[in-house]
Amino acid sequence: MSRRAPFHVRRSQRARAAALVVALGLLASACSDDTATTPGSTGASRATGTSETPRTLRVPDDHPTVQSAVDAAEPGDLILLAPGTYSEAVTVEVPRVTIRGLDRNTVILDGGDERENGFLVFSDGVAIENLTTAHYRGNGVLFSGDYGSGRILDGFRASYVTAHNNGLYGVYAFAAQNGTIDHVYGSGHPSAAVYVGQCFPCNTVVRDSLGEHNAVGFQGANAGGDLYVVTSTWRANRVGMESLSSRKEQAYPQRQAVLAANAVVDNNGEGTPLATNGFGVGIAIAGGRANRVEANVVSGHIVAGIVVTPQEDFLPEANRIESNRLTSNTVDLVFVSADGAPLDNCFRANTYSISSPENIEKALNCAPERTGGAGTLPGGTAPANVDYRAVPAPPPQPTMPDAGTAPARPATGTPDFPDVATLVAPTP
């Protein structure tokens, strides 16, 4: 069965732009204008069963290329990649396969700045583990629902994946549910290191990951409903984290995401690719609703630490900003509003020095008597653009334990959701 990637992936001349807050001088995301996807399909293009005895297919011993191994695989199989550079772009249309490198740092899929995506995954339950994707014009790893039939991909995982110097995103989950992104590293992307978009409920956990030297560290557009982004570090990007609503994708408005126990540090844009004029912001909620921003460490931003603001024609509503520790930001906490109406947004128990409006935890407290208030943001000059291909390659990253002996672990079922109350932000 033929499948189509999202329009914004297929466009060869797509503008390299990540969505950010208009009120911050940031542009809206260059997201898909395709029709909405709907959940509930079987998800396999070839086979829907699982082998009684899953096999291990070795590359290059059993199959000369990654693609040939994928084409020969059955559901449940493990594809094991030996160290080496694989100059190919791989499309996965077999459900519940695990594709794993023996060494994260020496198993490299290289796009040569010509191929579009390292992995383009259309089937349910696929896991990509312990390898590097670099120098693709599009994305390092893309999990995507099928735009031909309108189905949402069900089950995905990226673990111990390094993605660097790709032309759009590092790890990208679009119209996909029931996923895990863990121990991922992303750098040198003019969009975001990690992106989750157009899903509700997402049922997705992003954890223990690192994004640096990108336009945005983590970006979620119209993504929520048991979406957790936790215990990760987002540093030295133009913007650390953002969660936004946009009519350029379906499933709007964005709602019900949890951004908790992250280290969000020094996202000021030096040495990063230019997506928009946005820079100097730690965490932005742009037109989102009922999000929790909790127990994050946010420091060193020359515009603002945490910002809640409208986006397009979406007003931010019922967002809870709580127990974050903010230091060394020009303004720590900002609520942008045309009329200052609180719209059930609330700020409480944060450690901070400067807010806009002043005394934000009084004006926008978490009690019914909140009065509201409108804040403003300081201006500034955006740092110079750096070509994403010129961002230095990262150092070696921690490799997956027991990569050569661990059994296949396809991405089936609902991921384990974290207990936010027990989480601690990593040391930046």
Summarize the confidence of residues 218-241 as an average pLDDT: 98
Do the domain assignments include residue 334?
Answer: yes
Q: 425: which 2 tokens?
A: 């932000």
pLDDT at 34 over 50: no
One domain for residues 148 and 107? yes
Residue 170 has pLDDT above 90, yes or no: yes
Comparing 12-26, 64-78, 175-189, the range with the smallest average pLDDT is: 12-26
DSSP per-residue string spanning 191-251: SEEEEEEEESS--EEEES-EEESSSEEEEEEEE-SSEEEES-EEESSSEEEEEE--TTSSS
The pairing of beta strand 292-294 with beta strand 257-260 = parallel
- What is residue 379's predicted lDDT score, i.e. its pLDDT? 84
Q: Are both 158 and 226 inside the same structural domain? A: no
Q: Which helix (H) or strand (E) holds 72?
A: helix 66-72
Q: Are residues 227 and 338 both part of a single domain?
A: yes
Residue 390 lies in a domain: no
In a domain, 405, yes or no: no
pLDDT attached to residue 117:
99
Q: Of 153, 183, 213, which residue constitutes the final position of a domain?
A: 183
Q: Is the pLDDT of residue 129 over 80?
A: yes
The mean per-residue pLDDT over the stretch 339-360 comes to: 95
Domain count, the chain: 2
Tokens of 248: 């350029």
pLDDT, position 374: 86
- The predicted model gives 233-256 an average pLDDT of 96
Sign of CA dihedral 8, 219, 187, 109: negative
Residue 23, pLDDT > 90, answer no
Q: Where among 159, 183, 207 does a domain terminate?
A: 183
State the DSSP H helix or E strand holding residue 47, giving kind and residue range, or none if neither. none
In a domain, 308, yes or no: yes
Q: Tell me: do 307 and 360 sit in the same domain.
A: yes
Asked which of 38-42, 100-104, 136-140, 325-329 is least confident by mean pLDDT, the reply is 38-42
The answer to whether residues 310 and 369 belong to one domain is: yes
Residue 371 has pLDDT above 90, yes or no: no
Do 237 and 295 lie in one domain? The reply is: yes
Does residue 352 share a domain with residue 274?
Answer: yes
Pair (177, 203) in one structural domain: no
> Predicted confidence band at 6 (pLDDT cuts at 50, 70, 90)?
low
- At 37, the pLDDT band (50, 70, 90 cuts) reads very low
| 206 and 298 share one domain | yes
What's the distance, Cα to Cα, between the start and end of the chain in Å?
A: 45
Does residue 193 fall inside a structural domain? no
In a domain, 271, yes or no: yes
Do 174 and 232 lie in one domain? The reply is: no
Torsion sign over Cα 17, 21, 27, 33: positive
**Residue 368: pLDDT band with limits 50, 70, 90:** confident
Domain stops at, among 114, 148, 183: 183
Side chain identity at 416, as an amino acid letter? D
Share of the chain above pLDDT 70, in %: 86
Residue bearing the bigger pLDDT, 167 or 340:
167
Structural domain contains residue 190 = no
Identify whether residues 324 and 204 lie together within a single domain. yes
Contact at 8 Å (CB) between 204 and 181? yes
Is residue 35 domain-resident? no
Rounded CA gap, 233 and 92, in Å? 29
Reply yes or no on whether the pLDDT at 104 is more than 50.
yes
288-298: average pLDDT: 99
203 with 92, same domain?
Answer: no
* Mean pLDDT in residue range 346-373: 92
Of the pLDDT bands very low, low, confident and very high (cuts 50, 70, 90), residue 43 is: very low
By residue range, what is the domain housing residue 288?
199-378+422-428
Q: Quick one: average pLDDT of 337-364?
A: 95
